[in-house]
Amino acid sequence: MSDLLDTIRDLAKPTDSKILMVVLDGVGGLPLETNGDTELAAATTPNLDALAAQSQLGQIELVGAGITPGSGPGHLSLFGYDPLKYIVGRGALSAVGIGVKLGAGDVAVRGNFATLGADRIVQDRRAGRPSDEKNAEIVTKLKAAIPDIDGTPVEIYTESEHRFVVVFRANGGSPLGANLSDVDPQATGVQPMTAQAHDDASQKTADLVNAFVQRAETALKDETQVNGVLFRGYSDVPHFPSFDAAYQLKAACIASYPMYKGLASLVGMDVLTVEGEEDALDGKVQALRDNWSKYDFFYFHVKKTDSTGEDGDFKAKVKKIELFDALLPQLLALNPDVIAIVGDHSTPSKLATHSWHPVPLLIRSNYGRKDLAQRYTEDEALKGSLGLRKGTDLMPLLMANALKLNKYGA
């Protein structure tokens, strides 16, 4: 079905102008008490305030009214892909999250290590949440025990704690289907389930999955806690138009965490190297500066605004916002033709998790109207000239403000 993305593709033209999309992960918040300040409102942000006074503000809803976006759908929406239409399965999301590329016909599966008792009864679906080191040790054992299954190459990757990823490679043979039932019973006190194919193309995948489960249990039989595997979420490579094809943009991703790099890579952005630990804001600015001349679109990701929200730590989230504010002048010094400040979803400390609330949006370009919003906060954004929009409206707005879109029709 046709969507706005198809129209944009027909109108997009390459130009020298540069777009900088800053994603403050989970930046939208809530007041702790009725009519109180959100994290953004409570933060002291002189640089953001000064930028807001010259910018257009509004709000975006990433998926739909009342829908709380996961990071995958939230980002896809920011990148212009309708997240109700472009689905990235859990397996593929995990795979891209650890930097594994999927080819046509391959299937990625998301796995949990589990503790099985007598008669294979699931006692703990997360095997006591092993350390990443223990996870890596188990993965090494499994790699040795299961290099392939009847000639189909099998790759096994550590994700974190109890989570791992298996990729079955089609290896030039028939494409593997991803339409089969879970092994994870999503309950304790019962046995793991046997995967059942839901179509012919997935029969071989089901056989592979069931064989993997059996061989893994044999390989792990001397382990006391991490002695079983559960699978949930199978995916083949998602098919959707690349960022480059959609927008004629040479695009770069500046992010630290695997998942965001994976998503950007999935839509065809170049993933730049960022020096430093964790959120590595200085390393990100350096990467941006070093590559400024080479790209015309930058996705710049800041993670800690979300993590602190997830921790339910209002003050810490305020601090992370202020930390970004201190960094902002370095971004502005590069003189992007268009800069956007936005989030992929809200993560109010009050809820300590993602939420459905719209995210404030700021766009500065040379082509804005007078705007009544004076700060980049949720309530000031209500006065902004951009209004409340779908997340997928963002890319067209940025493209337009960068004068990268031809007129539609004569």
- Show contacts with a copy of itself in window 3-42 (CB under 8 A): 4, 7-8, 11, 30-31, 34-38, 41
Q: Are 256 and 284 in contact (CB under 8 A)?
A: yes
Tell me the per-residue interface mask from 125 to 164 with a copy of itself, x by CB under 8 A, - otherwise: ----------------------------------------
Q: Which residue from 9, 49, 90, 175 is in contact with a copy of itself, where contact means CB under 8 A?
A: 90
Classify the C-alpha dihedral 61-63-67-72 as positive or negative.
negative
Residue 389 touching a copy of itself (CB under 8 A): yes
Return the H-helix or E-strand segment holding 387: strand 387-390
- The amino acid that residue 45 corresponds to is T
Least Cβ distance, residue 218 to a copy of itself (angstroms): 30
Q: Which residue from 39, 45, 70, 317 is in contact with a copy of itself, where contact means CB under 8 A?
A: 70
> Residue 274 and residue 278: Cα distance in Å, rounded?
10
318-377 positions binding a copy of itself, by CB under 8 A: 348, 350-351, 353-357, 367-372
**C-beta of 293 vs 370, nearer to a copy of itself:** 370
Location of structure tokens 């839901």: 198
Residue 393 touching a copy of itself (CB under 8 A): yes
Residue 71 touching a copy of itself (CB under 8 A): yes
Query: Length of the chain, please?
Result: 410
Residue 406 touching a copy of itself (CB under 8 A): yes
DSSP 202: G
Question: If binding means CB under 8 A, how many residues of this protein chain bind a copy of itself?
Answer: 73
Residue 388 touching a copy of itself (CB under 8 A): yes
Classify the C-alpha dihedral 49-329-392-16 as positive or negative.
positive
* Burial of 44: CB neighbours in 10 Å, binned 0-12, 13-18, 19+: exposed
Q: Are 30 and 354 in contact (CB under 8 A)?
A: no
Q: Are 381 and 49 in contact (CB under 8 A)?
A: no
Least Cβ distance, residue 51 to a copy of itself (angstroms): 11
Phi, psi of 113 (to 5 degrees): -80, 140
48-67 positions binding a copy of itself, by CB under 8 A: 53-54, 59, 63-67
> Residue 225 and residue 128: Cα distance in Å, rounded?
7
191-210 positions binding a copy of itself, by CB under 8 A: none
> Residue 109 and residue 167: Cα distance in Å, rounded?
6
Residue 182 touching a copy of itself (CB under 8 A): no
Beta-carbon contacts of 182 under 8 Å, excluding residues fewer than 6 positions away, are 193, 195, 230, 231, 232, 233
Residue 408 touching a copy of itself (CB under 8 A): yes
- The amino acid that residue 24 corresponds to is L
Given the rule CB under 8 A, which of 141-149, 179-187, 289-297, 390-398 is the region that contacts a copy of itself?
390-398
Residue 385 touching a copy of itself (CB under 8 A): yes
Least Cβ distance, residue 170 to a copy of itself (angstroms): 24
Q: Which residue from 51, 331, 361, 398 is in contact with a copy of itself, where contact means CB under 8 A?
A: 398
Least Cβ distance, residue 393 to a copy of itself (angstroms): 3
